[in-house]
Amino acid sequence: MLYEKIAEALEVQFEETVTNRRYLHQHPELSFQEINTKRFIKDKLVSYGYTAIAEEIGGGGILATLDSGKPGPVIGFRADFDGLAVQEETELSFQSTQAGVMHACGHDAHTAGLLSIARAVLPLREELVGKLVFIFQHAEEVPPGGAKGIVESGLLDDLDAVYGWHVQGDDPYNGKIYIHKGYAMAATDAFTIEIQGKGGHGASPHTSIDPAVIGAYLIQQLQTLVSRRKDPIDPAVLTIATFKAGEGAHNVISDQAIISGTVRTLDPEVQDMIEQGITDMTENVCKAHQATGKVKYERGYPSVYNYPDETTLVEQLFKEKFGEDMVGDMPVIMGGEDFAYYLKKKPGSFFFVSGGSVEQRDLFPHHHGKFTLDERSMLTGAKAFALLINHYLTKKVGEPV
Ligand SMILES: [Zn+2]
Ligand SMILES: [Zn+2]
C-alpha cells in the first residue's frame, strides 16, 4: 500500500527531518524577511529532485509541484516558515543564533515536516495519479500574512483541496491529532477610535467637551455589541486594549481621546455587525455629547472555516490507521491563522498535532521564549498528510493508467 511506503520513508528520514528542523530553529527569520530560510527550503527541494519549484509567490512563498503526469485530484499541503520577535530562553543545544528572534510557534517543525513528506513521496511518483502542491509559506505571524498573496497569485486555482497542520505545544506529545469541523479559529480585526472634543481648564468642564468622559461611556456601550446584540451562542470578543486622553496634567481637559482594541469573531455576519456597530455607536455617542468620533477598523485574517467533509476525512483516515482514540476535538481558538485564506478559496481542513515536549516540567505557550516542542509531532503530521495522499492520489483498481 502506498501509505506504508511513504510512512516507511518518513521513518528512515526522521533523523534528517530533525536536523532540518534544528537548523531552521537555529536560524529564525522575521516575517517577510525570510531570505536564508527560503534558500534553505529551495536547496533541500532541489536536492530531493524537485524541478517544478515556483519562488517568491505572493511576496515570498515557495510552491513545489509533484505532477504524476496522470489525471487525478490536485491536493495542496501547506507549512509556514517565519519566526517571531521573541528572545529565546530555552536551554536547548540548538538555540536561536539570532538575538531577539525565535521559532516560538513551531513553524520550524511545520516546514521540516513538509520537506520530509515532499522527499518521501517523490520516488513513488509512478504509483500516483493527479498532482501534489507543497506550499511553503512565508509570514504567517504578521498581517497581511503570506497566505493572502499566495492565494491571489492564482497558482492554487486548480487545487481540489488544501490541508495544513499546526503543532499543539500546549499539550504533552501523545501522537494524537485534534480536529474541529466548521469555524475553528477567529477572524482577527483591530480598531482605533478617535474622539475629538474641546480641551479646557479642569475646573471649567462647562466650557469644554470632555473626550475622556465620552470615551469611558463609549467603552461601556461597545461591550453591549457582544453581550446584547449578537446571539449568545456565536462566539465574539471585543477587547479595549488602550484608552488615552490628556498628557499628564491633572487639571487639563484634553482635546482628544484615543481608544484602540481588537475584535475576534467566527461568523462573518457577526463580524460585519460588530464593525458597523462600533462605527454607529462611536458616531452617535459622540454626537450626543457634542463631540465627533472617527473609527478606523482594520480587518485581519478571516476566520478559519474547516470544511466538514474534508475534516471528517482526516478524522476517519487517522482513526482507521492509528485507533479511535487518536483523534480528539480541538476547542475553538479565538486566535487567528492566515490558513483561513486558503479555505476561503478551496475546501480543506486545518488540524492540530499534539507536540508539547514531555520532558519539560512546565509547558510554555506558543510565542513564549521558553516554548519547546516534541519533534515526533513532525512525524505525526507528515503521516497524516501521507494518509491523505494515499486516499486521493492512489490509482484505483481497474482504472486505466
Ligand atoms: Zn504563532
Ligand atoms: Zn503558528
**How do residues 99-158 score in pLDDT, each as one tens digit?**
999 999 999 999 999 999 999 999 999 999 999 999 999 999 999 999 999 999 999 999
Cα distance from N-terminal residue to C-terminal residue, the chain: 17
Ligand nearest to the CA of 141: 1
Q: Residues 224-282: pLDDT tens digits?
A: 999 999 999 999 999 999 999 999 899 999 999 999 999 999 999 999 999 999 999 99
Q: Which amino acid type is present at position 350?
A: F
Confidence at 164, pLDDT banded by 50, 70, 90: very high
Predicted TM-score of the model (pTM)? 0.92
Supply 238's cell numbers: 471585543
Count other Cβ atoms within 10 Å, centred on residue 212: 17
The Cα 151–Cα 348 span in angstroms is 14
Architecture of the domain spanning 194-298: 2-Layer Sandwich (3.30)
Q: Which ligand is nearest to the CA of 108?
A: 2
CA of 168 to the centre of ligand 2 (A): 9
Residues 34, 82, 141, 189: which is the catalytic one? 82
Q: What is the DSSP string of 299-312?
A: --SPPEEE-HHHHH
Cβ atoms of 129 and 389 closer than 8 Å: no
CATH 3.30.70.100 fits 2-186+303-392, yes or no: no
Which ligand neighbours the alpha carbon of 367 most closely? 1
Active site residue 82: yes
Res. 397 pLDDT band, cuts 50 70 90: low
Q: How far apart are CA 190 and CA 194, in angstroms?
A: 14
Q: Dihedrals φ, ψ of 135, to 5°?
A: -105, 105
User: How do strand 161-172 and strand 348-356 relate by DSSP bridges?
Assistant: parallel
Cα 83 to averaged position of ligand 2 atoms, centre (Å): 9
Q: Copy the grid coordinates of residue 23.
A: 537548523
Q: What is the pLDDT of residue 399?
A: 58
Of the listed ligands, the closest to the CA of 107 is 2
Q: What is the dihedral of CA 152, 271, 83, 343, to 10 degrees?
A: -40
Could you give the angle at which helices 107-121 and 35-48 cross, rounded to 10 degrees? 20
Bridge partner list, 102: 84
Domain ranges for the chain: 2-186+303-392, 194-298
C-alpha cell at 214: 465620552
Annotated active-site residue in 140, 210, 315, 337: 140
Measured in Å, residue 234 CA sits from the centre of ligand 2 at 24
- Is 140 part of the annotated catalytic residue set? yes
Query: Rounded to an integer, what distance in angstroms lies between the CA atom of residue 313 and that of residue 3?
Result: 15
> Which residues contact residue 277 at a Cβ distance below 8 angstroms, ignoring those fewer than 6 apart?
222, 225, 229
Cα(327) to centroid(ligand 1), Å:
23
Distance 156 CA to ligand 2 centre (A): 21
